[in-house]
Amino acid sequence: MFEVGDKVVYPHHGAGSVMKKEVKEVLGQSREYLTIKILYNEMTVMVPSENAERAGLRRVIDEETVKEVLAVLRDDGTQMPKNWNRRFKHNRDKIKTGDIFELAEVVRNLSIRDLDKGLSTGEKQMFGRAKKILASELMYACEMEEQEAIEFLDNLLEEIGESRGGRVAAGGVDLDGEDGLDG
Protein backbone atom coordinates (compact mmCIF):
# COMPACT_ATOMS: atom_id res chain seq x y z
CA MET A 1 0.00 0.00 0.00
CA PHE A 2 2.69 2.54 0.98
CA GLU A 3 6.02 2.78 -0.81
CA VAL A 4 9.34 4.49 -0.11
CA GLY A 5 9.01 8.19 -0.92
CA ASP A 6 5.26 8.36 -0.26
CA LYS A 7 4.09 11.43 1.64
CA VAL A 8 1.93 10.24 4.52
CA VAL A 9 0.26 11.49 7.69
CA TYR A 10 0.59 9.71 11.01
CA PRO A 11 -2.11 10.69 13.54
CA HIS A 12 -1.05 13.00 16.34
CA HIS A 13 2.36 13.57 14.72
CA GLY A 14 1.65 15.01 11.28
CA ALA A 15 3.01 14.61 7.79
CA GLY A 16 6.17 12.78 6.88
CA SER A 17 7.84 10.65 4.27
CA VAL A 18 8.21 6.89 4.07
CA MET A 19 12.00 6.59 4.25
CA LYS A 20 12.33 2.83 4.00
CA LYS A 21 10.51 -0.45 3.98
CA GLU A 22 12.28 -3.36 5.64
CA VAL A 23 11.70 -6.71 7.24
CA LYS A 24 12.60 -6.83 10.92
CA GLU A 25 12.39 -9.58 13.45
CA VAL A 26 10.60 -8.50 16.60
CA LEU A 27 9.69 -10.95 19.35
CA GLY A 28 10.57 -13.84 17.08
CA GLN A 29 8.31 -12.70 14.24
CA SER A 30 9.48 -11.33 10.90
CA ARG A 31 7.35 -8.42 9.76
CA GLU A 32 7.65 -5.68 7.20
CA TYR A 33 7.96 -2.20 8.72
CA LEU A 34 7.65 1.26 7.25
CA THR A 35 10.09 3.83 8.62
CA ILE A 36 8.51 7.28 8.50
CA LYS A 37 10.34 10.54 9.11
CA ILE A 38 7.88 13.03 10.63
CA LEU A 39 8.42 16.53 9.30
CA TYR A 40 7.69 18.95 12.11
CA ASN A 41 9.55 17.29 14.98
CA GLU A 42 12.12 15.20 13.08
CA MET A 43 10.80 12.08 14.80
CA THR A 44 11.21 8.68 13.17
CA VAL A 45 8.32 6.24 13.51
CA MET A 46 8.27 2.56 12.56
CA VAL A 47 4.89 1.09 11.69
CA PRO A 48 4.21 -2.54 10.71
CA SER A 49 3.03 -2.41 7.07
CA GLU A 50 0.12 -4.73 7.79
CA ASN A 51 -1.14 -2.41 10.57
CA ALA A 52 -0.49 0.89 8.80
CA GLU A 53 -4.12 1.69 8.02
CA ARG A 54 -5.35 0.50 11.40
CA ALA A 55 -2.77 2.80 13.01
CA GLY A 56 -4.33 5.67 11.05
CA LEU A 57 -1.55 6.13 8.51
CA ARG A 58 -2.92 7.78 5.38
CA ARG A 59 -1.73 9.62 2.31
CA VAL A 60 -1.35 13.41 2.34
CA ILE A 61 -4.46 15.23 1.10
CA ASP A 62 -4.80 16.44 -2.49
CA GLU A 63 -5.38 20.01 -3.70
CA GLU A 64 -9.17 19.62 -3.76
CA THR A 65 -9.17 18.51 -0.12
CA VAL A 66 -6.94 21.49 0.75
CA LYS A 67 -9.78 23.76 -0.43
CA GLU A 68 -12.20 21.90 1.85
CA VAL A 69 -9.80 22.22 4.80
CA LEU A 70 -9.47 25.97 4.19
CA ALA A 71 -13.27 26.21 4.14
CA VAL A 72 -13.38 24.49 7.56
CA LEU A 73 -10.87 27.02 8.90
CA ARG A 74 -13.07 29.87 7.64
CA ASP A 75 -16.31 28.42 9.08
CA ASP A 76 -17.81 29.59 12.34
CA GLY A 77 -16.59 27.70 15.37
CA THR A 78 -18.42 24.72 16.76
CA GLN A 79 -19.70 24.51 20.31
CA MET A 80 -17.00 23.32 22.71
CA PRO A 81 -17.22 22.33 26.37
CA LYS A 82 -16.94 25.34 28.69
CA ASN A 83 -14.80 23.47 31.22
CA TRP A 84 -11.19 23.69 30.04
CA ASN A 85 -10.37 20.10 31.10
CA ARG A 86 -13.22 18.71 29.00
CA ARG A 87 -12.42 21.08 26.15
CA PHE A 88 -8.76 19.99 26.22
CA LYS A 89 -9.71 16.29 26.14
CA HIS A 90 -12.29 16.93 23.40
CA ASN A 91 -9.68 18.64 21.22
CA ARG A 92 -6.97 16.08 22.00
CA ASP A 93 -9.31 13.28 20.94
CA LYS A 94 -10.04 15.07 17.66
CA ILE A 95 -6.33 15.47 16.94
CA LYS A 96 -5.71 11.79 17.69
CA THR A 97 -8.16 10.69 14.98
CA GLY A 98 -5.72 11.78 12.28
CA ASP A 99 -8.64 13.22 10.31
CA ILE A 100 -7.57 16.45 8.60
CA PHE A 101 -11.01 18.02 9.02
CA GLU A 102 -11.07 17.28 12.76
CA LEU A 103 -7.59 18.82 13.04
CA ALA A 104 -8.69 21.91 11.09
CA GLU A 105 -11.70 22.22 13.43
CA VAL A 106 -9.40 22.16 16.47
CA VAL A 107 -7.13 24.82 14.95
CA ARG A 108 -10.14 26.99 14.03
CA ASN A 109 -11.89 26.60 17.39
CA LEU A 110 -8.75 27.29 19.42
CA SER A 111 -8.00 30.30 17.24
CA ILE A 112 -11.51 31.66 17.87
CA ARG A 113 -11.30 30.87 21.59
CA ASP A 114 -7.93 32.61 21.79
CA LEU A 115 -9.43 35.70 20.16
CA ASP A 116 -12.53 35.71 22.37
CA LYS A 117 -11.30 34.64 25.80
CA GLY A 118 -7.69 33.53 25.59
CA LEU A 119 -6.29 30.03 26.02
CA SER A 120 -4.98 28.15 29.01
CA THR A 121 -1.29 27.22 28.90
CA GLY A 122 -2.13 23.65 27.88
CA GLU A 123 -4.45 24.87 25.14
CA LYS A 124 -1.78 27.27 23.84
CA GLN A 125 0.63 24.34 23.54
CA MET A 126 -2.05 22.22 21.86
CA PHE A 127 -2.88 25.07 19.47
CA GLY A 128 0.78 25.44 18.51
CA ARG A 129 1.21 21.70 17.98
CA ALA A 130 -2.05 21.39 16.00
CA LYS A 131 -1.01 24.27 13.75
CA LYS A 132 2.37 22.62 13.11
CA ILE A 133 0.72 19.30 12.26
CA LEU A 134 -1.73 21.01 9.91
CA ALA A 135 1.04 23.12 8.33
CA SER A 136 3.15 19.98 7.77
CA GLU A 137 0.37 18.44 5.70
CA LEU A 138 -0.34 21.67 3.82
CA MET A 139 3.37 21.85 3.02
CA TYR A 140 3.30 18.52 1.20
CA ALA A 141 -0.17 19.00 -0.31
CA CYS A 142 0.62 22.46 -1.71
CA GLU A 143 4.30 21.79 -2.42
CA MET A 144 5.52 24.56 -0.11
CA GLU A 145 8.59 24.90 2.05
CA GLU A 146 7.98 24.24 5.76
CA GLN A 147 8.31 27.88 6.84
CA GLU A 148 6.14 29.00 3.94
CA ALA A 149 3.35 26.62 5.04
CA ILE A 150 3.57 27.84 8.65
CA GLU A 151 3.40 31.48 7.54
CA PHE A 152 0.52 30.71 5.17
CA LEU A 153 -1.50 29.16 8.01
CA ASP A 154 -0.61 31.93 10.49
CA ASN A 155 -1.56 34.62 7.96
CA LEU A 156 -4.83 32.87 7.16
CA LEU A 157 -5.75 32.62 10.87
CA GLU A 158 -4.85 36.28 11.38
CA GLU A 159 -6.97 37.28 8.38
CA ILE A 160 -9.90 35.23 9.69
CA GLY A 161 -9.46 36.74 13.16
CA GLU A 162 -9.50 40.26 11.72
CA SER A 163 -12.67 39.50 9.78
CA ARG A 164 -14.26 38.45 13.08
CA GLY A 165 -13.46 41.82 14.60
CA GLY A 166 -10.16 41.18 16.34
CA ARG A 167 -6.58 40.34 15.60
CA VAL A 168 -4.87 37.14 16.61
CA ALA A 169 -1.12 36.93 16.39
CA ALA A 170 0.50 33.98 14.66
CA GLY A 171 1.64 32.63 18.01
CA GLY A 172 -1.85 32.81 19.43
CA VAL A 173 -1.43 36.06 21.39
CA ASP A 174 -4.26 38.59 21.21
CA LEU A 175 -2.86 41.80 19.75
CA ASP A 176 -5.74 43.91 21.02
CA GLY A 177 -4.35 43.95 24.54
CA GLU A 178 -6.52 41.38 26.29
CA ASP A 179 -4.48 39.12 28.52
CA GLY A 180 -6.90 36.20 28.10
CA LEU A 181 -6.48 35.02 31.69
CA ASP A 182 -10.19 34.33 32.10
CA GLY A 183 -10.09 31.22 29.82
> How much is the pTM?
0.82
Shortest CA distance to 57 belongs to which of 97, 92, 5, 95? Answer: 97
Question: What are the structural domains of the chain?
Answer: 7-59 (2.40.10.170), 63-163 (1.20.58.1290)
Question: Is a pLDDT exceeding 80 seen at residue 20?
Answer: yes
Q: Annotate the chain with DSSP letters as a single string.
A: ---TT-EEEETTTEEEEEEEEEEEEETTEEEEEEEEEETTT--EEEEEGGGTTTTT-EEPP-HHHHHHHHHHHHSPPPP--SSHHHHHHHHHHHHHT--HHHHHHHHHHHHHHHHHT---HHHHHHHHHHHHHHHHHHHHHTT--HHHHHHHHHHHHHHHHHHTTS-B-TTS-BTTS---TT-
What does the pLDDT look like over 82-114, one tens digit per residue? 888 899 999 999 999 889 999 999 999 999 999
Least-confidence region, from 63-67, 105-109, 119-123, 176-180: 176-180
Q: How far apart are CA 21 and CA 43, in angstroms?
A: 17
Per-residue pLDDT, 166: 56
The CA distance from 4 to 183, in Å, is: 45
Give me the chain's average pLDDT, please. Answer: 86
